[in-house]
Amino acid sequence: MKPKTGIAAAFVAGLGACLALFMGTAKAQDDYPAKPITLLVGYAPGGSSDIQARVLADLVGKELKQRVLVENKPGMSAAIMLNFLARQKPDGYTVATTPAAALFGNPYMLKVDYAHTDFTYVSAFGRLLHAVSVRNDAPWKTFNEFIAHAKDNPGKVKYATYAPNSTTFWLMRLLAAERGLDWTHVPYNSDAPAVQALLGGHVDAIAVASGQVPFIVSGQLRMLAVFNRVRMPQFPNVPTVEELGYRIVNLTQMTSLTGIVAPKGFSGPAFRRLEAALAKAYRDPSFEAQMRNISSPIDLLDSKAYETEVAESAKIAEKIYPEMMKDSK
């Protein structure tokens, strides 16, 4: 009987250990957040993603009564940040804000250790503006004038984007292919340094996201065209490239959806608390005002709708990204 007694004792001990682990996990979920939350941003400070993250961090921190710390991990079109996030514990203490392009587009263009299925989709809150701008003292008053100049001066025009292999990088490559342009791409690691390069005269134009908006408002820059499907309410006189007759794939709609993601497996009470805090933050007047200030349309999606849209965009990417890469070589 002794062996059986030993087995029973081992079973009871193992069961006790499992229950203790379960109870400990449950308590950790109930106490969430018991320590500061880190909100990762895959771009340098000062860009549109960084601006959005800092407003959300403040609002969510107040709602959860815990600090939310913004940590910038720029590089490789947010791939460095997402590679890091995918390896973190799914406990809700490390999450990220990111445009959809970094989730499903990067694996086609970069060597990354993640796929779009490696994350938990908490919620989405908006889309980015993508636009082409020049300095206010530039000779080109319209987008067509700028394109004509690039066509007549092969190899002389330089434009900056917010990241290599970014959405605006591909949009400018598609424009070049359609109109037979020879121009030079200068990548940065967020909107902010790209804008400064333009202001300093190091490039002729920028094709970036919402970080350019304050400089348009101040009169330092002139926005020539937007890649979004519709004109921006803040800039009703700026046409879309589609209106101007350019027939390129509208990557902005599918790539610019921006939201909060966590490591795969994040769920339970902690997930629901963070989800609720974010939902309240998205509707806060200060966040809505900040989104207007950077001309980022608000588009609220819950977890399921957010994950579904990214998955559908990933299916489209399977068809068009390999062809775009082939055509761009």
pLDDT digits (tens, 9 = 90+) for 294-318: 888 899 999 999 999 999 999 988 8
Residue 62: the pLDDT is 98
**Separation CA 314–CA 106 (nearest Å):** 11
Residue 296 tokens, joined: 């980022």
Whether the per-residue pLDDT at 8 is higher than 70: the answer is: no
- Using alpha carbons, select from 46, 56, 128, 127 the residue that is nearest to residue 95: 56
What amino acid occupies position 219? G
Half-sphere exposure of 237 (CA within 13 A, CB side): 5
- Domain 131-252 belongs to what architecture? 3-Layer(aba) Sandwich (3.40)
Q: Do domains 34-127+256-328 and 131-252 have the same CATH topology?
A: yes
CA-closest candidate to residue 210, choices 81, 50, 41: 50
Stretch 281-289: mean pLDDT: 96
Asked if 233 and 151 count as a contact pair (C-beta separation under 8 A), the reply is no
Given a cut of 60, is residue 28 above it in pLDDT? no
Residue 281 has pLDDT above 60, yes or no: yes
State the distance between the two ends of the chain, measured CA to CA, in whole angstroms: 75
- Domain borders along the chain are 34-127+256-328, 131-252
pLDDT tens digits, one per residue of 81-131: 999 999 999 999 999 999 999 999 999 888 899 999 999 999 999 998 999
Tell me, which fold does domain 34-127+256-328 have in CATH? D-Maltodextrin-Binding Protein; domain 2 (3.40.190)
**Do 224 and 240 contact (CB within 8 A), yes or no?**
no
Task: Reply yes or no on whether the pLDDT at 23 is more than 60.
Answer: no
Q: Two tokens at 125?
A: 């809150």
Dihedral (CA of 104, 106, 109, 112) sign: negative
Contact 291, 151 (CB under 8 A): no
- The pLDDT value given to residue 1: 46
Cα 47 to Cα 44, 140, 165, 184, 265, distances in angstroms: 7, 25, 17, 22, 29
Measured distance CA(75)–CA(154) in Å, rounded: 30
Give the range among 6-15, 58-67, 75-84, 275-284 with minimum mean pLDDT: 6-15
- The DSSP result for 112-150, as a single string, is -S--GGGEEEEEEEEE---EEEEETTSS--SHHHHHHHH
Top pLDDT among 3 and 40 is at 40
pLDDT score of 216:
96
Taking residues 240-267, report their average pLDDT: 93
219 φ/ψ sector (left φ>0, alpha ψ -120 to 50, else beta): left
Rounded to the nearest 10 degrees, how much is the dihedral formed by the CA atoms of 71, 98, 243, 139?
Answer: 20
Whether residue 328 has pLDDT greater than 60: no
Mean pLDDT, the chain, whole residue set: 90
Distance CA 48, CA 190 (A): 8
For residues 248 and 245, what is the distance between their CA atoms, to the nearest angstrom? 9
Which pLDDT belongs to residue 324? 77
User: What's the pLDDT tens digit per position in 162-194?
Assistant: 988 889 999 999 999 999 999 999 999 889 999
Give residue-wise pLDDT tens across range 140-154.
999 999 999 999 999
Percent of the chain with pLDDT over 70: 90
Q: How far is CA 252 from CA 2, 188, 193, 242, 249, in A?
A: 70, 19, 21, 12, 9
Cα–Cα dist 282/300, whole Å: 8
Indicate if the alpha-carbon torsion angle 281, 284, 289, 291 is positive or negative.
positive
Would you state the pLDDT for residue 135?
A: 98
